[in-house]
Amino acid sequence: MRRFGVCLIRKETEPAGCISMTEISFLATPIGKIGVAAEEEFITKVFFKIADLPEQWQRGDQNPLLREAQAQMDAYFAGKLREFDLPLYAEMSDFSKAVLEATLEIPYGQVTTYGDMARRLGNPHAARAVGSALNRNPFPILIPCHRVVGSAGSLTGYAGGLESKKFLLEMEKQFMQKEPERLL
């Protein structure tokens, strides 16, 4: 059972003061440094390109939510966590939200294609739109868009680069051999 989802709050309905300051933490991972941003009680972004940070973002290394994100990422990369349990916030279209929610249903260690995702969403001709939505996934790794591949099983675009996508897929397959009782 999934313990988190994508919280879709549109600006026009957002309560006053709901989001105030963005804090960021940098996580060392086997695929390089990853940034995780949080606002209030939500993770708002996971990113690979550290150089493109807004100046107004502040270091949040003591933020309990960012520390929990670090702990869960560490467990994931150690093969002890297969689903993340973090509150996420993002503004996006209903279609993008549906794509990301469908992506959460891809089992750990398995892959699906953009076309299969489009069919699962009820629009078999929307493979490119699915790819476009996944390209804008604000939560790579947390929402495992790396598990979506091209129609012939080829590795296609990933924000962290194709080498990172390949690493994540191979890592998950390797850890599928682990005993279930060792998982968190």
Both tokens of 108, joined, read: 């750990």
* Domains delineated in the chain: 6-77 (3.30.160), 95-177 (1.10.10.10)
174: burial class by Cβ within 10 Å (0-12, 13-18, 19+)?
Answer: exposed
pLDDT band at 179 (very low <50, low <70, confident <90, very high): low
Which of 86, 145, 159, 168 is catalytic? The answer is 145
| Nearest Cα residue to 43 out of 84, 82, 77 | 84
* Residue 127 DSSP SS3: helix
Token readout for 54 is 């807004």
Rounded CA separation 112/85 (Å): 22
Tens digits of residue pLDDT in 76-123: 999 999 999 999 998 899 999 999 999 999 999 999 999 999 999 999
Structure tokens at 97: 């939200």
- Environment class of 117 (CB within 10 Å of its CB; exposed 0-12, middle 13-18, buried 19+): buried
Check: pTM over 0.85? Answer yes or no: no
| Tokens 């194709």 sit on residue | 162
pLDDT in tens, 26-72: 888 999 999 999 988 899 999 887 666 666 566 667 789 999 999 99
pLDDT of amino acid 154: 82
Q: Is there a catalytic annotation at residue 145? A: yes
